Structure 1
Amino acid sequence: MKVRTLSMVAALVAASLNVAKADTLRMECAPTGAGKEFCDYVKDRFETQTGHTLEFIEFPPSSDEKLGLFQQLFAARDGNAVDLFQADTVWVGLLDRHTLDLTEQVAELEADFFPGAWQNNIVNGRVKAVPAFLDSGALYYRQDLLEKYGEQPPASWEELTRIATRIQEGERAAGHRNFWGLVFQGKSYEGLTCNALEWVASHGGGDFVDSDGQVTIDNARAARALDMAAGWVGTIAPQGALGYMEEEARAVFQNGGALFMRNWPYAYVLAQADNSPVKGKVGVMPLPSGAEGESVAALGGWQWSVSAYSKNPEAAVALLKIVSDAEAQKKALQLVGVAPSRVALYEDPEVLAMAPYLAEFRDIFANARPRPATQTRGQYARVSNAIYNATYNVLSGRSSGEQAVADLQSRLERIKGKDWR
């Protein structure tokens, strides 16, 4: 009896210690609808597996407002504010010193994710985030029109230009006078940086700033890529494309006004919706390659990061692993519609049954290239501003590609100074 009593006492003491160690963690979550349903799913798993409690915190929907709030919270080193949050692809370098080093805890996960997305989250050799869901540039095309004119989807930008010219002329001659060969995001904003990266990198012109932080844009291939894009404006692309963002380009394409469109994956679902004039007529493929390069898509999407000020980093990492595992990514696709960041899910029968169109995106995501944000850290906003303004000057005829890349090289080196910070 005495031994049994001692055992019961020991068990009660152990239980009390476990309760004392239980923490309340806070995770970013959408407050309503499918987002909340996903978070409730995560909460149930996390609390069951760890014994900790999970609460949710809402952040502003605007990326700029959200980043500003993060910077305020992190400046105060507030350990109670948030443990796990989603960072935009271009924030990882900027928030480096405010996020937990995950290198040792997630080393075994690297092979499970698309390489471009994983590489985006490495700062100075350390893993600072895990991909949450993906986004990248893709080429949309009218399958029916390619078939009508006996053409195949273009493998190169040169082929795209030829096909777009031919079919644009044919459709206009048939009475569709406002038909265009190509639409893209040509406004002077972040979206143009993404387009410019795709054009330049696909020609073998580099990524503006390489992984070591060296500015590399002043080269002939990069100049040719920008000149190529400038040659589209007013010929196969409308002059108005210089004011297009994503939705303006989509509106033209989805209303039947263009043969090709560069856009993000979200446009596929909308183009195939029941009320879409081009439903059943749209194909999607990786972006074309340049004469001396390969197909390159700008990486978008969001990353899971752990606050460096979390009071229970071990539990926060456990939460990170739950929200980024295959089961959770399937649930996020089912409830929220976001594209998984794990490679194997693009061959998973359950995933393809939920979203058959994702089969078209595996190769697109495999070619995704990060913007030069991680290496330029807190100065990325200035870097991107310089890139899209220089590109816009070429598209609008104010500068040649050769002059633009030389000027951009000088400007980026001035922004860098002795080092990126």
Structure 2
Amino acid sequence: MKRVAAAAVAVGVLFAATSCADQGIEAAAQAEKQNLDGRGPITYVQGKDNSNVVRPLIDEWNATHPGEEVTFKEQSDQADQQHEDLVQHFQSRDPGYDVAVVDVVWTAEFAARGWLQPLEGPMAIDTSGLLPATVAGATYGGVLYAAPQTSDGALLYYRTDLLDHPPATWDELIGACGTARQAGIGCYAGQYAKYEGLTVNASEAINTAGGSILGPDGVTPTMTTPEAKAGLQSLVDAYRSGAIPRESVTFQEEQARQAFQSGDLLFMRNWPYAYSLMNGQGSSAVSGKFAVAPLPGKNGPGHSTLGGHSAAINVYSEHKATASDFLKFFLEKKSQAFFLSQGSLAPVRADVYDDPELIEQYPYIPTLKTSIENAVTRPVTPFYPAVTRAVQNNAYAAIKGEKTVDQAAADIQSAIAAAGS
């Protein structure tokens, strides 16, 4: 009941605490206890399966589970549309979306609104073999609400034809920018356009400097601490000095990849998906001329922002036992290795990263494991949309010199405080 009460408070703050919201929390509390042993066909909901990863796995499941077949409901490839679709179905208490894939930043919002079945008691899953950061990304209020499915961690891509070894610290990276100038190329680019990627990149700088955007309670803003401001200042200084090229404030993931792939950058921060795209392509100017390392920190690996998705059971599902088994099927080593081999998606099981055959095929995965092990989730809060808007708007203004870091940090602080009041 404490968990339900906490969820009621969070939803009350976020959604004006109407009697309708109260009734929704009460209904969810009752639904948590129902259909725990329910078996039968289920529907699995996920964004567009561009790499044809999900369908073969579902076919494998269906071949051995007569009477518990899984139907795949494929959403669009746009995260905001996926989010809206889930909200509509969960809000209407539709039992038809039995298992849904949720972005790590949606977990707190959906859990606070009572829409996700807590994975405890008969619904518990074994997380002992999973990377701890992935479990943290599926947890809210100390309760696991989803099964980690695929993860993601940032990598530092660097030119091996221009450098003997990667920088171990941020200061070393900035110091290597002289090599970029001598080669007539840009030094370092991440994703600094005003969108979610900027929240990701700013969070990495802030966390790596020892700061945070929110406190552990998911409510108290902490952007005015010296550490948080120092992290944002590192990006501002790098942009002002030219270490981060001017055009980088227009970059999302693909623009950064294209610049690095064209040979125009010494360093790039990006996700693992870019690795295979830049190696072995005839149009890639850097094929065979780059490697990856963890993001550089103060005295070693920095803190990547954790990416990835988890699979959650709809609290109103009528076949929760089947849904639970399906989550566990996706967590099997064979399934996790298929996510990697078929879709270049980062596994959540630690043992996949230690498999010699997979390392030979995907030489970057030990580095990716280090990145994920040091990763930090974005702020875990049911107010996340307001938090990310505040970070994007003000970090962008600070990087471009339109605000001081002190002012940007103070404005992020006040915007987050207003969202939670």
TM-score interval, smaller chain? 0.7 to 0.9
Counterpart for residue 150 of structure 2: 133
Give the corresponding residue for 1:169.
Answer: 181
Task: Find the counterpart in structure 2 of residue 414 from structure 1.
Answer: 418
Residues 328 and 199 of structure 1, relative CA distance in 2, 3 Å threshold: same
Distance 1:341 1:268 in 2: 19
Match of 1:284, SS state, is: strand
Mapped contact 1:113–1:341 kept (Cα < 8 A): yes
Q: For residues 306-321 of structure 1, what are the structure 2 equivalents within 5 Å? A: 306-321=313-328
2:103 aligned partner: 88
Aligned pairs for 1:2-401 (under 5 A) are 23-28=40-45, 35=52, 38-45=54-61, 48-49=64-65, 51-80=67-96, 82-96=97-111, 97-105=114-122, 107=124, 109-147=126-164, 152-164=165-177, 166-171=178-183, 176=184, 179-234=185-240, 235-275=242-282, 276-290=284-298, 295-372=302-379, 374=380, 376-377=381-382, 379-401=383-405
| Structure 1 residues not aligned, in runs of 5+ | 1-20
Q: TM-score, normalised by structure 1?
A: 0.85
- Post-superposition offset of 1:46: 5.1
Matched residues in 1 for 2:256 and 2:349: separation? 29
CA distance in 2, matches of 1:134, 1:92: 14
Distance 1:320 1:54, change over 3 A: same
| Distance 1:34-1:385 versus aligned 2 partners, 3 A rule | closer
Aligned residues: 380
Distance 1:121 1:31, change over 3 A: closer
Distance verdict in 2 for CA 1:106–1:207, change over 3 Å: farther
Residues 211 and 325 from structure 1, CA distance in 2 versus in 1: closer, same or farther, beyond 3 angstroms?
Answer: farther
Partners of 2:378 and 2:48 lie apart in 1 by 30
Partner-residue secondary structure (3-state), 1:302? strand
Query: Residue 12 of structure 1 corresponds to which residue in structure 2?
Result: none
Q: Distance between the aligned counterparts of 1:71 and 1:264, measured in 2?
A: 27
In structure 1, distance between residues paired with 2:362 and 2:399: 36
Runs of 5+ consecutive residues of structure 2 not aligned to the other structure: 1-37
d(CA) in 2 for partners of 1:260 and 1:31?
Answer: 30
| Partner residue, 1:3 | none
Do the aligned residues in 2 keep the contact of 1:38 with 1:335 (CA within 8 Å)?
no
2:26 counterpart residue number:
none
Aligned residues of 2:119 and 2:125 also touching (Cα < 8 A): no
DSSP-derived class of the 1:262 partner: strand
Q: Which amino acid aligns with 1:162?
A: G
Query: Is the 2:273–2:344 contact (alpha carbons within 8 Å) kept by the matching residues of 1?
Result: no
| 1:69-97 per-position Cα deviation (integer Å, ceiling 9, x unaligned) | 111111111112x2112111111112111
How large is the Cα RMSD of the aligned pairs? 2.1
Amino acid at match of 1:285: A
Shift of 1:273: 2.6
Which residue of the partner structure matches residue 14 of structure 2? none
- TM-score, normalised relative to structure 2: 0.85
Q: Tell me: CA distance 1:158–1:344, structure 2 relative to 1, closer, same or farther (3 Å).
A: same
Q: Quickly say closer, same or farther: Cα 1:32–1:409, change in 2 above 3 A.
A: closer
Structure 1 position 30, deviation (Å):
7.1
Q: Deviations over 1:333-352 (max 9, x none)?
A: 23333221111110113433
Conserved? CA contact 1:297–1:364, under 8 Å: yes
Moved over 6 A (4+): 30-33
* Alpha-carbon separation, structure 1, partners of 2:342 and 2:287: 23
* Cα distance change on mapping 1:184 and 1:123 into 2, 3 Å: same
Identity between Structure 1 and Structure 2 (%) = 29
Moved more, 254-263 or 57-66: 57-66
Tell me if the contact between 1:28 and 1:86 (Cα under 8 Å) persists in the aligned partners: yes
Per the alignment, do residues 294 and 347 of structure 1 end up closer, same or farther by CA in structure 2, a change over 3 Å counting? closer
In structure 2, distance between residues paired with 1:146 and 1:211: 43
- Which deviations, in whole Å up to 9, do the C-alpha atoms of 1:278-329 show, x marking residues without a partner? 01111111111136x9610001111111111110111110111112221211
Question: Radius of gyration: which is bigger?
Answer: 1
| CA pair 84-412 structure 1, distance change in 2 beyond 3 A | same
Q: Which amino acid aligns with 2:386?
A: R
Q: Which amino acid aligns with 1:94?
A: E
Cα distance in 1 for residues equivalent to 2:171 and 2:390? 27
Amino acid at match of 1:153: P
- Deviations 1:355-401 (Å, cap 9, x if unpaired)? 333233111111111000x3x21x21111010111111110111222
Give the 3-state SS of the residue equivalent to 1:111 in structure 2: coil
**Tell me, what secondary structure is at the counterpart of 2:339?**
helix
Q: Give deviations 1:40-87, integer Å, cap 9, x for gaps.
A: 43343355257422222221221111111111111111112x211211
State how far apart, in whole Å, the 2-side matches of 1:168 and 1:336 are: 33
Does structure 1 conserve the Cα–Cα contact (< 8 Å) formed by 2:148 and 2:348?
yes
Find the aligned partners of 2:213 and 2:182 in 1 and give their Cα distance: 37
Deviations 1:235-260 (A, max 9, x none): 12221111111111111111111111
